[in-house]
Amino acid sequence: MKRITIEPVTRIEGHAKITIQLDDSGKVTDTQFQVTQVRGFEKFTEGRPFYEMPGITSRICGICPISHQLASAKACDAIMAVRIPRTAQVLREVVHCGQFVQSHALSFFYLSAPDFLLGMDSDPATRNVVGVIEANPELARAGIELRKFGLQVIEGLCEERVHPSWVVPGGVKTPMTVQFRDRILAGLPQAMATTEKTLGIFKGVLDNFQEEISNFGSAPSMYAGLVDRSGSLQMYDGLLRFRNGAGEIVQDGITADRYADFIGEATVRNSYLKAPFFRPKGYSQGSYRVGPLARLNVADAVGTPRANAELLLFRQRFGRMAHSAFLYHYARLIEVIYALECLKILLLDPDVLDTHVRATAGVNATEGVGIIEAPRGTLIHHYKVDDNGAIVWANLIVATGHNNRAIGDSVRQVSEHFIHGDHLEEGMLNRVSAVVRAYDPCLSCSTHAIGAPALEISLLDAGGKVLDCLRS
């Protein structure tokens, strides 16, 4: 029996550990995807005033702090029992679009592009963003600029890029200035051109990854995501829908306050990341996926013209339900187009410069739930407070949690396909890491590395003799 450990999985947002077990003939018999850290936000926030929650929970994740702030603020809106001013909602959606652009650009250009552009088997010493800068400076620079554009939306409204304090219970802190609006509008065409060009390049290299597309978590699964009342993609304020692998809607129209009727959580003995499941099907049958690919599968359409045109092309090529986790990358680019189109619509909204952007109220309900689509998938914040507004109970279900079991299953599929025999190649293991990368997990929401040697992979025979060892 042999065991391979990949730790940490590199170029992901957080830390994970993968263990691959092989039998004597070199066949993969078991794999584990483990998340090795817990931070305890649900417990240590007890006793804090509810209005501190957007600021505290922002610190769950430095990559998508806005997502946590928005889900948290929506839960707080519910506790205050207010309907926030329309302009406040528009402004929250603007900053959310900025978040999608920057987060997806980070995943695509900084983390995964080295695999597409330099190759899964390329030298690990240069298979990173610096290597991309060397190999394709124009594209690298375009990616850096696209991420920057998304962050400028955030920075321009919130004053800071990471952990700002602009999204507040009841709305947002300050209105939009005309200068900001015009600056972002002026930058949109370039951002769109970059995204469409990148999508073109990505479509062009897709044929080189047939084997990955076929074996990267390609089994049909259930999917979840928010849609609007007409069934179109929604990021900020929709209703939760579940669709099965065959494309049938299994549950529709779930409002935030009813999430717990449909989503249960299971503890996993060997991971600090819990595994949510679709409650009506039970834990064993209730696995589902969220995030960009899931959202495109769940929605009937995308409500903006360019992104919808791309969705139709995507469906022509991969079917109405696309299952390969490799296609998360593709879906991510379509969503950037969508976010840029939405930005334009939002910025041209006649109310966008209105100065009524915050509702004030005290505690008018002792419970509140906020759900949004974060870049990585459905994000749920659920709080209970006492009459003074102190948190007495909090539950957070983060996007990557929903995908926990799917990532584990995908790791197993990739391992079984690409790893065999008594000889190890680095590229085999990079593919195992790459399937995790495809999900763009935000493990910093719940994880961090343990301190053993970063990566040491050994193939041992039944007597414990090292057959092969990879280390660098």
Partner 1 sequence: MRKPKLATVWMDGCSGCHMSLLDIDAAIIPLARKVDIVYGPLVDAQEFPDDVDVTLLEGAISTQEDVDKLQQIRQRTKLLVSLGDCAVTGNVAGMRNMVPVNKLLQRIYVEGADENRCIPGEGLPPLAKLARPAQDFVKVDVCLPGCPPASKVIAGFLNNVLDGRKLEANTKIKFG
213: its two tokens: 């597309």
Query: Hey, which residues does 243 pair with through a beta bridge?
Result: 223, 249
Nearer to partner 1 (CB atom), residue 49 or residue 62 = 62
Q: In the range 321-350, which residues lie near partner 1 by CB under 8 A?
A: none
> Does residue 271 touch partner 1 according to CB under 8 A?
yes
Which span (75-83, 133-141, 201-209, 407-415) binds partner 1, by CB under 8 A?
A: 133-141
Asked if residue 469 binds partner 1 (CB under 8 A), the reply is no
Tokens of 322: 């696309």
- Determine which residue in the list 26, 135, 144, 203 makes contact with partner 1, applying CB under 8 A: 144
Going 346 to 347 to 353 to 358, the CA torsion angle's sign is positive
Q: Which residue has the tokens 């963003």?
A: 129
The least CB distance from residue 59 to partner 1, in Å, is: 4
- Rounded to the nearest 10°, the torsion over CA 53, 59, 64, 67 is -10
Give 204 or 451: the residue with its C-beta nearer to partner 1.
451
Measure CA 200 to chain center: 23
**Per CB under 8 A, does 296 bind partner 1?**
no
Nearer to partner 1 (CB atom), residue 320 or residue 471? 471
Cα 42 to Cα 37, 247, 378, 382, 384: the distances in Å are 14, 35, 18, 10, 11
Which of the stretches 71-79, 144-152, 304-312, 345-353 binds partner 1 when contact is defined by CB under 8 A?
A: 144-152
Pick out residues in 387-426 that bind partner 1 (CB under 8 A).
395
Q: In whole angstroms, how close is the CB of 453 to partner 1 at the nearest point?
A: 5
The reply to whether 125 sits near partner 1 by the rule CB under 8 A is yes
Q: Which residues pair with 306 in a beta bridge?
A: none
Give the 3-state secondary structure of residue 164. Answer: coil
Other residues' Cβ atoms within 10 Å of the Cβ of residue 466 = 10
By beta-carbon proximity to partner 1, the closer residue of 51 and 272 is: 272
**Closest distance of CB 351 from partner 1, Å:** 31
Determine the interface stretch with partner 1 among 15-23, 197-205, 206-214, 408-416 (rule: CB under 8 A): 15-23
3 vs 110: CA distance, rounded Å: 30
- How far apart CA 357 and CA 378 sit, in angstroms, is 25
Spatial distance between the Cα atoms of 215 and 209, rounded to a whole number of angstroms: 10
How far, in Å, CA of 219 to CA of 197, rounded? 30
* 215-254: contacts with partner 1 (CB under 8 A): none
Binding residues with partner 1: total (CB under 8 A):
75
H or E element at residue 456: strand 456-460
Measured from the Cβ of residue 172, the count of other Cβ atoms closer than 10 Å reads 25
Give the range of 69-77, 265-273, 289-297, 415-423 binding partner 1 by CB under 8 A: 265-273
CA distance 172 to 389: 19
Q: Does 146 bind partner 1 (CB under 8 A)?
A: no
Site string for partner 1, 16-55 (x = CB under 8 A): -x-x------------x-x-xxxxx-xxx-----------
Single out the residue of 2, 181, 274, 412 in contact with partner 1 (rule: CB under 8 A).
274
d(CA 232, CA 365): 31
Closest CA to 217 of 411, 29, 376: 411
- 3 near partner 1, judged by CB under 8 A: no
SS3 content of the chain, % helix, strand, coil (to 5): 45, 20, 35
- Minimum Å distance from CB 278 to partner 1? 12
Q: Which two tokens stand for residue 150?
A: 């998304």
Q: Which is nearer to partner 1, 92 or 437 (CB)?
A: 437
Site for partner 1 contains 279 (CB under 8 A): yes
Q: Which stretch binds partner 1 (CB under 8 A): 3-11, 78-86, 166-174, 340-348?
A: 3-11
Shortest reach from residue 399's CB to partner 1, in Å: 15
CA–CA separation, 360 and 362 (whole Å): 7
Could you give the string, one character per residue 82-121, with x where binding to partner 1 holds by CB under 8 A and - elsewhere? ------------------------x---xx--x-------
Residues of this chain, 428-467, that bind partner 1 according to CB under 8 A: 430, 444, 448-456
**Closer residue to partner 1 (CB): 163 or 203:** 163
